[in-house]
Chains A and B, each alone.
Chain A
Amino acid sequence: MLSITTTPAWGEFTFDAGQALLPGMVGYAKVMIAAVGLLLLMLMAGTVDRTDEERIAAGRASFDPLRSNRAEFYAFFLFSLTGLMLVAGADTLLWMFLALELTSLPTYIMVAISTQRNRSREAAVKYFFLGALGAAVFLYGFTLIYGGCGTARLNEIHDHIALHGINTLTMAGIMLSLLGLGFKIAAVPMHFYTPDVYEGAAPQVSAFLAFVPKTAGFMAILLLAATIGWTYDPGAVKGVIRASEHGTQLPEAVRVLLWVMAAMTMTVGNILAVLQSSVKRILAYSSIAHSGYMLVGVIAGPGDGSFTGSGVGAVLFYLMAYGVMNVGAFAVLAALERGRRDDGDAIEIETVDDLRGLWSSHPRMALVMLVCNLSLLGMPPLLGFFGKLPLFTSAIGAGEVPLVIVLGVNSAIAAYYYLRLAFVPMLENADRGAGAPRAAPFRSREIAGLLSAAGVIALAVFGASIMKRVEAAAKVSPTIAEIQATATP
């Protein structure tokens, strides 16, 4: 977070070789990913090499690079974050495909080795196979877009679409790409893997999965949408793009697809989350629901370009907000354990009931759970509310009132399970059994949780400067055709 205060102009910072459709997004995404990445890294302590790291944490041994034989875990972690940063700057379909693969391939291994148990292996296989399917689908989509437009550069595709409209091949490509990317963001109908994978992986890796592929998917979707153009107007005169009445119009077919995906994703996610009893499954389904919320911002588009009116800004801000509060919720699970298995793995907190009595035994973690879950619920004045508010404003500004009502009703459904997560630690007393939660030996996990909770409060109170950055980051650059259109009187 230090960089935010010391480099004043990072919002406008662009990479030479970056994409030109959402130029501001590159810099913003990198800082955001680095910041949330730091929190995630603090959670990762002790995931592999647990016995060694435990001894180091307890001060019984000092760090020895030669002994750390599972360092590939951290390498994968960094590779994945690198891929994520590269997605933001993708200027061709090829780059986007490679960056997305670089983001997701390491995560499969991270899931597999996050614990010693069969569940993690099963989760990894499930995740990998569905991930490969998703990758194949959006790769085929990219192929068709390339075929339809004759170029893989996003700028050129944008200009091609602006000048000639969308042909069938391109349209099919866009649809397939969005469906395939739906896997990355865990959107219906590509969401099936999420609960199983989150449950099978160690909680800190689940936190990683909830942030990294989702962010990658959303940045790719935003770039694709910017490529088609939110100001796409099928009735436009050749070479002239008019902003339509409501500010934004994706091509109707794309809009309908995204609309249905958004509505289904939030509804399915929330309703299934209500039925769960495992904490990680609840958070997994809620992660699906949050993707649905963010899709609303994609549909809304850049609007009038202000932070409040821009759905792009809303998505970018919500990604950051979701990252912070979600890390907090998972950090509680990572920082606590109910015991130890023979193979050295922690027995995790499984059901909501395991959280009972946390308020008296681990007040700090209970507080983190309270703050982060209330924020995920969208309770003002926490960060989650100020993340959701721009989604409301931009969508209504774009005339998507029915979708906003779906969003509102879903927020209310979500209240049911977030209330349980937030308040069970405080309200229920633990049965004094052997499985009472105790602190994991890695303090950095606890600190990550506390930092997230502090961030959830602080960013809501002092978030003004970040919002200003996001506003700059969400600017959709005018393209050749648009510049031509404005130049002719």
Chain B
Amino acid sequence: MILLVTILIPLLAALAVALAPETRAKSIAMLGTCVALVLGGYLALQFPWDHAGEFHLGGEKAIEWLPSLGISLSLGVDGVALLLILLTLLLGPICVAASSTAITSRRRSYYAWLLVLQAAMTGVFAARDIVVFYVCFEFTLVPMFVLISLWGSTNRKRAAVKFFLYTFTGSVLALAAIVYVAAVNAAIDPASLTSLERGLHPEAGRWSFSIDALTFAAGHLSSAEQALVMAGLMLGFAVKVPLFPFHTWLPLAHTEAPTAGSVILAGVLLKLGTYGIYRFVFAFAPMAVVEYAPLVALVCIVGILYGGLICWVQTDVKKLVAYSSVAHLGFCVLGMFALNGAGLTGSIFYMINHGLSTGALFLLIGMIYERYHTRSMKELGGLAAKMPIWSTFMVFFTMASVGLPGLNGFVSEFLCLLGAFQASSAWGSGLWGSAGAMKGATLGELGPWYALIAGVGMVIGAIYLLYMVGRIVWGKLVEPHAHHDGHDAHAPVLPKDLCTREIALLLPLAALCIGLGVYPKPVLQALEEPVRFSLRGIDDVRAARPVAATPIEAARVEVTP
């Protein structure tokens, strides 16, 4: 029930904003997001963190929605979903506050759509029915489309359409895959199940879109069917993440979106893709996941290197950070497909950290853009002299993003790489394997070579981000001439350096970056059980496989207990 309220409050606030006078829009939106955030805190307190692998807080009974279609409004969160909801709720007020000077026209619609977007994103993480998930997942497109195309910069319409079409196409194919699993569930003959299974899965043999029922039904898929299901789902989610060949919408959307839009896009919307992979691909197609993990990892690595190299030649700061997202989410998915505890934990942690640090970077870039109306590195330089506070934050969040030890980015990136490194097998890491047994190796499909090459990407990432900081923060002071003092007639005049409001926006993010970097233990503990539960299906697949496929693998199995 409380989850439903958390989703409904932004929606109600959106309605209120739409009906209220223009001048009140911002304060109502602020109120709505703050109430939602407080509710989020309450959720976090209520949540039994010791049993973070199970789903809680969804209320006693699912609300019937469209029973003929097998859809019910069932909600519930485990540790992973709750952490992502908290991230969403935290970014809510920050986005509202970050828009107060940037958005001067049609404020009512702006804040209303922003609130609708927040409700949809919360719904995605809270859904326990896959159609409810899909409804929210798809519906995020509409507000984001409007945000980009109404309040974006010059090329906004093309960016918005591209964003919409890419994601929509992908997710329609994902829907086909979901329906396929549902059809398999409906075709199960209840009589063929044991009475225990029948008790646990009353939906088997009927049309249902409950995630639990479909997870059970996925066990009835052949490996070829699972490969198809995985292909469909991955197409849908990979576009959203975005993984390498499907990423072209992202830089455009990021560059054109208003600041708050970019923050939400980087902070939460991209995580919908990774969350979808984590929640559905792993559950519905474990065999295919094990089989194709190296392929996905390869795509991730190409994305990491490609994103890094593209960043190197960017002059637009916002585009640079956008491409860095492509690389960073490559790490995230790489860690996920390591299919072991370290990798998966790191990957989920990465989702949160990327949301914090990249979100903050987009906020900072937005602040510069409001002052100078440019994002080009050629026109900006040495701002440390003019804007010491901004520069401090910029350097700080860049470090967090690069993965400086002591800050949050390091922990997750390290875990992802570690997971990939340990997940050793004969394929792709033969050289390493033949040199003798590897300590700490878990059964897995990736291996040291994957980690090594991805590590190169990490170094590239450090180079381009530091290069960017070097250009705009330090060095000779360069300011654009045309817009030096040229604010819009409507825009309120901003001080040279950050004002209190802007600092207040960045401080919580900075605090979290330090906190999670120095003491990540609570989060990692909370993730332990969900990760273990998610890996159960994968481990079953491995256990069922013939053990010694190749001599090298056989050798390794001997040493690993």
Residues of A within 8 A of B (CB): 304, 306-309, 374, 379-381, 385-386, 389-390, 392-393, 396-397, 401, 404-405, 408-409, 411-412, 415-416, 419, 423, 426-427, 461, 463-464, 467-468, 470-471
Contact = CB atoms under 8 A, between A and B. Distances in A.
B138 A427 contact: no
Contacts of A412: 165, 168-169, 172
Contact of A396 (B64, B135, B183): B183
Given A385-B135, A392-B175, A397 B146 contact: no
Nearest to A401: B180
8 contacts: A306-B186, A306-B207, A307-B69, A405-B176, A408-B172, A419-B161, A426-B150, A467-B68
Interface in B128-179: 131, 134-135, 138-139, 141-142, 145-146, 149-150, 157, 161, 164-165, 168-169, 172-173, 175-176, 179
Contacts, number: 103
A426 B146 contact: yes
Given A389-B179, A397-B186, A401-B176, 17 more contacts: A308-B70, A308-B186, A374-B142, A380-B135, A380-B139, A386-B66, A393-B183, A396-B179, A396-B183, A397-B187, A404-B179, A409-B173, A412-B165, A412-B169, A415-B169, A423-B145, A423-B146
A419 to B, nearest CB: 6
Nearest to A410: B172
B176 A379 contact: no
B183 A397 contact: yes
A379 B187 CA distance: 28
A307 B69 CA distance: 7
Contact of B66 (A306, A392, A393, A463): A463
B68 A306 contact: yes
Residue from A379, A408, A416 with most neighbouring chain B CB atoms (10 Å): A408
Contacts of B149: 423, 427
A91 B169 CA distance: 42
B68 A405 contact: no
A379 B165 contact: no
Contact of B67 (A380, A416, A426, A464): A464
A468 B69 contact: no
Interface in B28-72: 64-70
Contacts of A307: 68-69, 207
Contacts of B289: none
Contacts of A304: 186
Residue from B66, B138, B157, B176 with most neighbouring chain A CB atoms (10 Å): B66
A461 B134 CA distance: 15
Contact of A464 (B66, B135, B168, B172): B66
Contacts of B141: 379
A390 B68 CA distance: 10
A416 B69 contact: no
Main secondary structure of the interface of A (DSSP, over half): helix
Interface string B221-245: 0000000100000000000000000
B96 interface: no
Interface in B99-147: 131, 134-135, 138-139, 141-142, 145-146
B326 to A, nearest CB: 22
B13 interface: no
B400 interface: no
A389 B69 contact: yes
A381 B67 CA distance: 15
B138 A396 contact: no
Contacts of B531: none
B176 A408 contact: yes
A361 to B, nearest CB: 15
A467 B66 contact: yes
B182 interface: yes
B207 A393 contact: yes
A468 B70 CA distance: 12
B179 to A, nearest CB: 5
A381 B173 CA distance: 17
- Interface size on B, as a range, is 35 or more
B207 A396 contact: no
A381 B139 contact: yes
Given A397-B183, A404-B176, A379 B139 contact: yes
A392 B207 contact: no
Contacts of A306: 68, 186, 206-207
Closest 3 CB pairs of A and B: A467-B68, A308-B207, A412-B169
Nearest to B225: A401
Interface string B467-493: 000000000000000000000000000
Given A401-B180, A405-B176, A411-B172, A427 B157 contact: yes
A287 to B, nearest CB: 20
A185 B134 CA distance: 31
Contact of B164 (A389, A396, A404, A419): A419
Nearest to A360: B106
Residue from B64, B164, B183 with most neighbouring chain A CB atoms (10 Å): B183
Contact of A308 (B68, B135, B139, B187): B68
A135 B69 CA distance: 37
Given A306-B207, A381-B139, A389-B69, A405 B173 contact: yes
Residue from B141, B145, B179 with most neighbouring chain A CB atoms (10 Å): B179
Contacts of B207: 306-309, 393
A457 to B, nearest CB: 13
A379 B180 contact: no
Nearest to B165: A415
A405 B164 CA distance: 19
Contacts of B150: 426-427
Residue from A308, A386, A392, A416 with most neighbouring chain B CB atoms (10 Å): A308
Contacts of B70: 308
A195 B175 CA distance: 31
Contact of A415 (B66, B146, B168): B168
A404 B138 CA distance: 19
A482 B529 CA distance: 54
Nearest to A381: B135
Contact of A392 (B68, B138, B179): B179
B280 to A, nearest CB: 16
Contact of B68 (A381, A401, A471): A471
A397 B175 CA distance: 14
A390 B66 CA distance: 12
B348 to A, nearest CB: 26
Given A408-B173, A464-B64, A308 B180 contact: no
B176 A464 contact: no
Nearest to A397: B183
B176 A415 contact: no
A386 B142 CA distance: 17
Contacts of B68: 306-308, 464, 467-468, 470-471
Contacts of B176: 392, 396, 401, 404-405, 408
A78 B219 CA distance: 54
Contacts of B172: 408-409, 411-412
A317 to B, nearest CB: 9
A374 B228 CA distance: 29
Contacts of A386: 66, 69
A379 B142 CA distance: 9
A413 to B, nearest CB: 9
A463 B68 CA distance: 9
Contacts of B145: 419, 423
A464 B64 CA distance: 9
Contacts of A381: 135, 139
A405 B235 CA distance: 13
